[in-house]
Amino acid sequence: MEESLRQQILAVFPHSPVDIRTYSPMAFAFLGDAVYSLVIRTMVISKGNRQAEKLHNETSLLVRASTQAAIGESIQDLLTEEERSIYKRGKNANTAHHARSASYEDYQKATGLECLCGYLYLQDRTDRMLDLLREGTSRAGVIRKQEKGRT
């Protein structure tokens, strides 16, 4: 079986094993934000080489809180009880701030999605995470919206 990116990172850099059940929802969201961003950036750049500004603009449409909120809401019926619990923990986490460009509700939902992404990544369940993101982007129509906004 091929090692996941997470396993490869941990093999290269010294670490102490940690029980992920001890992590806060905001710790999951912290990591999930980066994982989600990597997925989106990989998807955007795979469409072909372009100026960095165009790559950034296209990526920005997909990583904003309102888009993440729409994706998170669209996959609720696909989540297992465990996944729904993780999403809700992230959504209900007491965040000290939220993006000025997003409503507080969208920011909470986006944090729930990021929390779920971080949790699934830490469990080496990236296949499940990618399936959910693929279905969520399709259901929420964000890929079509993003394609129309492309220059």
Q: Which residues are catalytic?
A: 33
Task: Indicate left, alpha or beta for 14 from its phi (over 0: left) and psi (-120 to 50: alpha).
Answer: beta
The CA-atom distances, in angstroms, between 41 and each of 26, 34, 82, 90 are 22, 10, 28, 23
Cβ(32)–Cβ(118) under 8 Å?
yes
